[in-house]
Structure 1
């Protein structure tokens, strides 16, 4: 019993004077720190988040946080992971098609949108923090979720080329739309806090679709995608014009 008490006291060292220790009821840990960081961003925005202010919210000195996160960069990366992981507990998001690929993609898109609307001030971090690999894109920015997306489409008959192109189109559409949407809800989307590019990941064997398609995912097709998206927009505008002039 004494060893347990000593561990809690050590973990929650440097309690801010006059505040109840967070170890009473729930010890300080990484999950609690990330949750508090998300709450802070939801309440006050990203710009004001510091280790000191986060420590104050948790009732500890900032130095107590460094046992669980090495600094603000790691804290923000952890916040992004927590936001993306929220889709794991979203009962409407599925990890493989059940009623066709359209239903699968729609569920995934709405799952990401629910994350954005639940935490609009934190969502821009998904666009600005480095993904697990430099050739992955937000908002599906983790190897696991990209694997789920690619595997799901290929199970529905998509070729490798079509699956990669769909991943790019899905990412561009969803991120662009959601960044505009969260901006109307008070998010600061510019300038984004872009950091150095992520290093090449290890252990891709656990993600066979990502591993096989890694060369295709790495190709920069931004200009082509822009032209295709613009052409699609013009087609939609032409359709709307036709509908309104023939009513």
Structure 2
């Protein structure tokens, strides 16, 4: 970095340009230190040494800030291992997500809150989920079994326990939503999944999901796992 000499002869470092990445990383650090409830644009601006209005060039509002923070955290999850069976790769990524959440204990609340109001997950979360579907598919899972597996795992895919695929009323449409053909190209595995599931418009689990079936599937899978553990004792 080039040093800049002041009129008094002192040497200072040039100001680091403000960027979306700096805003988000500062917001994450503040949330880590004091919790997300205490986070404000004013506090972020103070930490960055800028006026609050300067932030709005990079994040339009608090909701966009929170979405960007979620995406920044998803970026901390390890990429899938290039070798290994599907079960090992999925387990490693889920545990990496869990370690990420232990570093940022405020994150589950934010993810759950934003999932209640967003029309779709954030872009980085979509990419992560798409890659996880791809791992299952590469492991030989038929698409309907992938669908059920995602419901069983829910938010465990990103390190905590909450239904990620629940369709709640009151979600506002996303004005920046990608066109279907762009979605299909960018998230091919999720698109395949969305096109393949059976449609149940009255489901409380999610549009396109049979909630009674998913409930029984998860219950049976859990009981089968307990039975396997019991037999191993």
TM-score by length of 2: 0.71
1:201 has 2:181 as partner: no
Unaligned stretches of 5+ residues in structure 1 = 6-22, 181-193
Give the structure, 1 or 2, with the largest relative contact order (CA under 8 Å, sep 6 or more): 1
Q: Residue 142 in 1 paired to residue 125 in 2?
A: yes
1:110 counterpart = 2:95: yes
Distance 1:102 1:126 in 2: 25
Match of 2:160 among 161, 167, 178: 178
C-alpha distance 201-58 of structure 1, shift in aligned 2 (>3 A): same
Displacement of 1:141 after TM fit?
7.0
Q: State the Cα distance separating 1:73 from its structure 2 match.
A: 1.1
Residue 198 of structure 1: CA displacement?
4.3
How many residues are treated as equivalent by the alignment?
Answer: 201
Question: Are residues 1:100 and 2:85 paired?
Answer: yes
| Structure 2 unaligned blocks of 5 or more | 5-12, 163-169, 198-206
Find out whether 1:32 has 2:9 as its counterpart: no
Please tell me whether the aligned partners of residues 80 and 126 of structure 1 are also in contact (alpha carbons under 8 angstroms): yes
Work out whether residues 130 and 196 of structure 1, in 8 Å CA contact, stay in contact via their aligned partners in 2: no
**1:48, 1:62 → 2: CA distance?**
16
> Deviation of residue 104 (structure 1)?
1.3
State the Cα deviation string for residues 11-39 of structure 1 (Å, max 9, x = none). xxxxxxxxxxxx84522111111011001
CA contact (8 A) 1:150 1:210 kept: yes
SS in 2 for 1:83: helix
Inter-partner Cα distance in structure 1 for 2:229 and 2:81: 35
Q: What root-mean-square deviation, in Å, do the aligned CA atoms of Structure 1 and Structure 2 show?
A: 3.3
Separation (CA, whole Å) in 2 of partners of 1:173 and 1:44: 25
Instruction: State the match for 1:85 in structure 2.
Output: 75
